[in-house]
Amino acid sequence: MSERFPFGGDLPVRRLGFGTMGLTGPGVWGEPADRRQAVRVLRRAVELGVELVDTADSYGPYVSEELIAEALHPYPAGLVISTKGGLTRQGPGQWQAVGRPEYLRQCVELSLRRLRLERIDLYHLHRIDPRVPLAEQLGVLGELRAEGKIRHLGLSEVEVDEITRAREVVPIASVQNIFSLTRQRYRDTLDHCTREGIGFIPFFPLGRGELTDPDGPLGAAAAARGVPPAQLALAWLLHQSPNVVPIPGTTTVAHLEQNLGAADLSLTSAELAELGAHCSDTPAPPTG
């Protein structure tokens, strides 16, 4: 499996990133229980070679972006900060899509300020707002790209037809959908992205935690290999396509180091088939 994927053809990153949604309070709301620990985890991720850190203005809200800037700015060369906009927060666990062009422009401008960036390398529309024409939502993001404030654009939680319609308005470099060993609803979207050269960023790549449990569906297979279950789940994802860049998140350095070890784990076709038998149709959570 290739070591890097080039988003948009010119933005290469190592194929295991770090997701920061969990570096906030319960319900992805408010400050983390231990802010200093969150900063340590972010810094250690970069020390270990992570080149894609994913966030969103709605995580906290704003908390995750502010943590990234506090921990990592000035950013090392080659580090890509991916963020998202278009979801508003009404409270813990509450999310609502807002795709009005003036609001999306505000989202980008404020993310630039919080992240202390002049340009966001990878910016995702967090959700398509069904009340606003797609061309208007992506049109304003295309304008911001032309202004030099965004380098590459992406989508989140989308089907193939939505990607196709979006590409009629702006180039799409990335798709961020829920996907894991036990949640493969978007397999056709992954296949489409692979054919079209679009990056595919699985969020919740370890499910809702069941794929990290030694007594969970991967417990026996992981024990046989002598690796943590999470590492096996991530290695399976990396083998699905050279376009896959998972973004597992964690609040501890120990789990971070375990997760990143998945990049060095090779699986045989027989092992991949055996692990694939754990596929399920578990409903997706509403955020990511």
Mean pLDDT, rounded, of the chain: 95
pLDDT tens, position by position, 17-27:
999 999 999 99
pLDDT for position 283:
47
Output the CA angle 38-119-43, nearest 5 degrees.
Answer: 20
Percent with pLDDT over 90 in the chain: 91
Question: 226: alpha, beta or left, given left = phi > 0 and alpha = psi -120 to 50?
Answer: left
CATH number of 12-209+243-251: 3.20.20.100
Express each pLDDT in 176-203 by its tens digit: 999 999 999 999 999 999 999 999 999 9
Q: Higher confidence at residue 199 or residue 275? A: 199
pLDDT: is 209 or 33 the higher one?
33
286 band by pLDDT with thresholds 50, 70 and 90: very low
In one-letter notation, the amino acid at residue 8 is G
Q: How far apart are CA 265 and CA 268, in angstroms?
A: 10
How, if at all, do strands 18-19 and 52-54 pair? parallel
Q: Is-catalytic flag, 62?
A: no
Q: How far is CA 248 from CA 106, 150, 151, 171, 260, in A?
A: 28, 24, 23, 26, 9
Nearest Cα neighbor of 22 from 52, 64, 61 is 64
Of 59, 75, 103, 123, which one is the catalytic site residue? 59
Over residues 102-139, the pLDDT tens digits come to 999 999 999 999 999 999 999 999 999 999 999 999 99
The yes-or-no verdict on residue 281 having pLDDT over 60 is no
pLDDT band at residue 279 using 50, 70 and 90 as cut-offs:
low
Question: To the nearest whole percent, how much of the chain has pLDDT over 70?
Answer: 95
Q: φ and ψ at 6, to 5 degrees?
A: -95, 100
Provide mean pLDDT across the span 156-184.
Answer: 97
Question: Does residue 189 contact residue 175 with C-beta atoms inside 8 Å?
Answer: yes
